[in-house]
């Protein structure tokens, strides 16, 4: 019996998918577990395997094409089996659902016009305040950026390659006339004309790019963001990292130290380990930290689970593994879900400080800048120091300013005294 395979929902936010590649063609023998295709979702490109045995009878979405979740993707059945009725049934069902939605979304509005023949009057709906708005008047408002120039002057300027923006008009209301152009030319000011070919490239939005745009737009315009910026002394952190990295086969980064410090600071300040939903606030007892990783198509946030139980070395190896597979688009949906706190680090790109948009439904995100050398005051003396700025973006619906400030105070204690994280 033929089986209809629909576009699967491979992530919690996936609404449509793009077939990046087919590994089977129509007529091929299929066994359960065979990889049928590679599907690009909003978060990653993932392999899609068959759950059926049989022959690939039909492919509904070609390579590079996009379709919505639950739309026909392929059909597997017995060789030579008639599958057209199954496909028509699936298509007809989708069409019926679309029509129902359209009927609900487009109610009919009746307008009545009463005509009195005896008095020869027509009773029409009164003009609303919006209809009375003098739109034509607004449309005729003068454009402050417009340059007033006579047709003859404009023609002469074009012939001589003169930039009219450089000419001061002597006519009425500053209008540029022919003599203004002639005087400009005779003054010896030469205008250069550069000739070239306008060129550009366009690519359609990837599923990842569209989802990033949708989710972060919703976050930015719905969550009332505010930002807290502090500067840490990184002298001790530098020493600890050097000591760690002196151990054979042991390497850690500053980001690993920051992740560990954040997990401990969240234990002490649990209100930041929270999430906003339409009908409730969730305060999480577990700590899952999302680490933003840049890829060619956008941003992926793999999640480190139960970070407070990890050592700094464990964090390093886990981050490396997740980041590598993120760039190769080999992360599973489970590895990109469930974060309760997010860190975005651009310090390795020499960005001193920046602000990030909160990753919903989380309540905060920490932006980490680069470590820089600069004069600092210690014990009343000026000396060369190493500092790092971090900015905490908070959703004011969940996290108040005082709560965010206390978290940063705790984070400072761990960052500036990293030995306390090892006790």
Catalytic residues: 396
Contacts of residue 221, Cβ cutoff 8 Å, sequence gap at least 6? none
Query: How many of the other CB atoms lie within 10 Å of CB of 204?
Result: 9
Q: Are 356 and 367 in contact (CB under 8 A)?
A: yes
What is the DSSP annotation of 366-423? EEEEEEEEEEEEETTEEEEEEEEEEEEEEETTT--HHHHHHHHHHHHHHHHSGGGGG-
Pairing of strands 274-277, 280-283: antiparallel
What is the DSSP annotation of 190-214? PPP-----------PPPHHHHHHHH
Through-space distance between the first and last CA atoms of the chain, rounded to whole angstroms: 63
- Residue where the block lists tokens 């919505």: 68
Contacts of residue 352, Cβ cutoff 8 Å, sequence gap at least 6? 369, 370, 372, 389
């Amino acid at each position: 019996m033929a089986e209809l395979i629909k576009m699967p929902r491979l992530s919690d936010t996936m609404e449509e998918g793009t077939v990046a590649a087919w590994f089977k063609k129509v007529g091929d023998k299929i066994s359960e577990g065979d990889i049928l295709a590679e599907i690009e979702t909003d978060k990653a490109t993932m392999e899609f395997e068959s759950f059926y045995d049989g022959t690939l009878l039909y492919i509904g979405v070609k390579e590079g094409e996009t379709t919505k979740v639950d739309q026909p993707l392929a059909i597997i059945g017995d060789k030579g089996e008639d599958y057209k009725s199954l496909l028509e049934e699936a298509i007809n069902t989708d069409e019926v659902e679309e029509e129902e939605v359209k009927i609900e979304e487009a109610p009919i509005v009746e307008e009545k016009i009463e005509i009195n023949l005896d008095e020869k009057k027509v009773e029409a709906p009164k003009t609303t305040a919006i209809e009375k708005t003098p739109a034509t008047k607004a449309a005729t408002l003068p454009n402050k950026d417009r340059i007033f120039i006579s047709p003859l002057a404009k023609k002469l300027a074009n012939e001589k390659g003169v930039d009219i923006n450089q000419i001061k008009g002597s006519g009425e209301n500053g209008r540029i006339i022919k003599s203004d152009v002639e005087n400009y030319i005779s003054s010896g000011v030469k205008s250069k004309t550069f000739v070239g070919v306008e060129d550009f490239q366009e690519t359609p939005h990837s599923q990842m790019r569209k989802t990033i745009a949708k989710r972060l737009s919703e976050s930015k315009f719905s969550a009332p963001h505010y930002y807290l910026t502090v500067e840490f002394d990184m002298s001790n952190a530098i020493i600890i990292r050097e000591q760690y990295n002196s151990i054979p086969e042991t390497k850690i980064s500053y980001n690993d130290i920051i992740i560990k410090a954040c997990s401990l600071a969240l234990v002490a300040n649990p209100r930041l380990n929270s999430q906003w939903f339409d009908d409730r606030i969730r305060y999480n007892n577990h700590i899952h930290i999302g680490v933003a990783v840049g890829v060619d198509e956008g941003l992926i946030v793999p999640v480190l689970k139960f970070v407070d139980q990890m050592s700094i070395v464990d964090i390093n190896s886990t981050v490396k593994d997740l980041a590598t597979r993120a760039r190769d688009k080999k992360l599973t949906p489970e590895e990109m879900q469930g974060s309760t706190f997010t860190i975005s680090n651009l310090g390795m790109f020499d960005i001193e400080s920046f602000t990030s948009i909160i990753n919903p439904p989380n309540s905060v995100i920490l932006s980490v800048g680069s470590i820089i050398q600069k004069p600092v005051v210690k014990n009343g003396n000026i000396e060369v120091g190493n500092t790092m700025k971090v900015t905490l973006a908070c959703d004011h619906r969940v996290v108040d300013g005082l709560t965010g400030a206390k978290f940063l105070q705790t984070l400072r204690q761990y960052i500036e005294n990293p030995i306390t994280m090892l006790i």
